[in-house]
Chains A and B, each alone.
Chain A
Amino acid sequence: MAPEHHPGTGAGRIVLILLAGLFLVAFLLVPLAVVFSEAFAKGGAAYLDALGQPDARAAIGLTLLVAAIAVPLNTVFGLVAAWCIAKFEFPGKSLLTTVIDLPFSVSPVISGMVYVLMFGLQGYFGPFLAAHGIKIVFALPGLILATVFVTFPFVARQLIPLMQQQGTGEEEAAIVLGASGWQVFRRVTLPNIRWGLLYGVLLCNARAMGEFGAVSVVSGHIRGLTDTMPLYIEALYNGYDAVGAFTVASLLAMLALVTLVLKAFLEMNYRDDLTLAAAQVSRH
C-alpha cells in the first residue's frame, strides 16, 4: 500500500502532468492567444474594417458555400459506406475499408494535384471540358471536389466501428415487424448512431472549412473568386497585412473553439453512443 510504489502517485506523476501542461500552453494556448491579440492589435475598428473588405466577405462566403456542399455530401457518402461495411458481407470489403482511409494517408497537396491532372487544361478531361465551356479547376467545382476528397473519411470512420458493434439484430427485428427499408433506417439505425454521426459531421465540417493544401492547388488564388478563408489568410499575410490575416484567422480559430466545445459536450453526454460501449446495453 506504500504510495511511492503506486504508478499513479508521487513526484513522477506531478512532473508528467506539469510537462503535459507546459506543452499544451506553449504549443496550443499561446498561439491561439497570439491570433486574437494580433487581430485586435490596431483596435476593434481595424478588426471590423478587415472583415468588411469585399475580398474578405467573398472568402468567408466561399468557405461557407464549399462546406455547405461538401459536408452534406460526405455525410451521405459516409453513412452509405459505413452501412455497407458494417452490415453486409461482400468481396472486397477490406479493400473498401482501406480505400476510405486513403485521404488520411495521402498528402492533401497530392489530392489537389490529382484533380488538376484530371480536369486541368493539360489534364485528361481538360480539352473536353474546355470545348464544352465547363470550368472545374480554378473554380468552385474544383474546390468542392478537393474538399470532399480530403474530408471523406471523417463520417465513415466514426460510424463504422459504432455500427459494427451494434450489429444487425435491431434492424432484423424491425424487418420482421414489417418495417420498410427506409423505416428501418429512419426509426432504428439512425437513432442508434445519431450522436456518432453528429460527431463525425462536426469534425468533417471543421476540416472542410480549414483545409488548405488540396484547395490551394485547385484554387488558382483568384482573390474575391476562388480564395477560401485559409487561402485568403495566406495571401494577406504574404502581403504584410498582419491585422487582416489574423482577423480572418480569428474566425477560423473561433470555429475551432466552437467545434471543440461541442465535441466535449457530445463526449460528456453521449459517451455510450460514441464509443464501443454502446452495444453493451443490447447484449445484457
Chain B
Amino acid sequence: MGVDIAGMSKRFGRAEILSGIELSIARGEFVALLGPSGSGKTTLLRIIAGLEAASAGSLRIDDRDALSLPPRERKIGFVFQNYALFRHLRVFDNVAFGLQVKKRAERPPREVIARRVAELLELVQLGGLGQRFPSQLSGGQRQRVALARALAVDPELLLLDEPFGALDAGVRVALRQWLRGLHDSLGLTSIFVTHDQEEALALADRIALLNRGRIEQVGTPADLYDHPGTAFVMGFLGAVNRLDCAVSGGGVRLAGDTQPLDAQQISGPLPANGPAIALVRPHDLRLLGPAERGGSRVLLRSIAVVGARLRLILEKSGHTIEAEADRDRVDASWLHPGSQLRIEFSRVRIFATDGSAGEAIAPSESDQARPLSRHPARAALR
C-alpha cells in the first residue's frame, strides 16, 4: 500500500496551511510527519484520511486516486489524538463498530465479529476489559482501544495523530516500542504525526520534517541528523549551539575568533560570502587541555554536576554555550568559574542567515517534549 502525494496544498481563506507537498511512502514503511505546532502536519494527515479536502495536488493510495474516494473506501485506520472513543459504547462495541456498520452483504455474522473483537483486544493486551466503558480506562488503555478499533476494519494504511501525546512519559516510551513491533508484525504501512523529535528519531523508518506548511527535508533519521539540509532541520532535531560567523573566499571565521576554521572542521556546503550562522552539535565540541594548542577561547561561567555528567555554561563573544561532558573523561579539578578555556569545534555547519532560520531554532510552544533544546545553545564536551 504505497502513498504518493504530489503538489498538494491547502488553504483556509487567505492562510496557506500546506504548500507544494511532495511525499512518497512505500508499502510497509513507518513514516513520521514531524514539525512544530502549526506546521501543517495534522492537516496533511487528515487530508490523507479524507477528513479534509486538499486545495490542490494529488493523492494516490495504492495507485488509486484517493482524493475522489470517501474516507471509508481508502482502507485506512485512524487513531485520533484524543482517541475519540465512543463514550456511550463499551470497549467491545467501540472495537466492533467498524464491522457493525458494514453493509449487510459485507457484514460478518455476529459470532465472527465477537471472535474478531476478542482477538483484537488480546492483540492490544486488553483481553477481559471488553465490558468497560472508555471513561473507566487509563490513558494508555484508551489509546490501545483506539488502535484496536482502527485495526478492526483491516486497514492497509494506519494513520496516527500524536498517538502518544496525551500519555505520561513512562507509558509513552513503552507503548511506542510496542506499537513499532505491532506495525512490523502486521505488515502495515503507517504514518504518524508528532512534534517530538526524539520520538520520530527513535521510531520512524523515515521522517518528513515540516515547517510552515512545507516539507523541509525527508530522509531516514540518520540522514536528517547527520546531513541536515537547513538550519531549521538541524535545530529541530536535537541540541545545537548557534554562533554568528562570516564567510569569505571559501573560509569561515567564527565571531570573536582571529583564525578561520580549518576546512576539515566544516561539514556540508558553504553559503555565499557574508554573515552567516554556524551550528554545531554538542558532541562535535571538544574541550582542549592546557597543553593543547589552537581552538577558540571561551570563558567558563558556571559548572554543575548532573549525575554522571558535567554541565558547563560557557561564553564565547556574547554567545552562551551550554556544554555537557562525561565526568570520567574530564578532569574537573582545574575547571573553575571565571577561568579561560579553549574548545575545538568539528563538523560545524554553516547556513545563510535568513529570518526563518533564527526563528526556527528559538524554542516554540511545542517544545515540552524536548527540554534539551529549551536552552539557546548547549554543547557536550569530550
Contacts and interface: CB of A to CB of B under 8 A. Distances in A.
B206 interface: no
B97 A282 contact: no
A281 B101 contact: no
21 contacts: A169-B80, A172-B78, A173-B80, A176-B49, A176-B78, A177-B72, A177-B98, A177-B149, A177-B152, A178-B72, A179-B72, A179-B97, A191-B88, A191-B89, A192-B88, A282-B82, A282-B83, A282-B84, A282-B85, A282-B87, A282-B134
Contact of B101 (A178, A191, A283): A178
Interface core residue of A175, A180, A191, A192 (most chain B CB under 10 Å): A175
Contact of A183 (B51, B86, B101): B101
A: interface residue count bin: 20 to 34
A187 interface: yes
Contacts of A191: 88-89
Contacts of B86: 170, 173-174, 187-188
B97 A176 contact: no
Contacts, number: 72
B153 A172 contact: no
A183 B85 CA distance: 16
Contacts of B50: 176
A284 interface: yes
A173 B78 contact: yes
Given A281-B134, A281-B135, A173 B101 contact: no
Interface of B: 49-51, 71-72, 76-78, 80, 82-89, 97-98, 101-102, 134-135, 139, 142, 149-150, 152-153
Given A176-B78, A177-B149, A169 B101 contact: no
B259 to A, nearest CB: 58
A270 to B, nearest CB: 11
Given A169-B82, A283-B82, A174 B101 contact: yes
B85 A174 contact: no
Contacts of A172: 51, 78, 80, 84
A201 B194 CA distance: 44
Contacts of B51: 172, 175-176
Contact of A284 (B49, B89, B102, B139): B139
Nearest to B12: A89
Given A177-B101, A183-B101, 19 more contacts: A170-B86, A172-B51, A172-B78, A173-B80, A173-B84, A174-B97, A175-B71, A175-B72, A176-B150, A178-B98, A178-B102, A179-B101, A180-B101, A187-B86, A188-B86, A191-B89, A281-B87, A282-B87, A282-B134
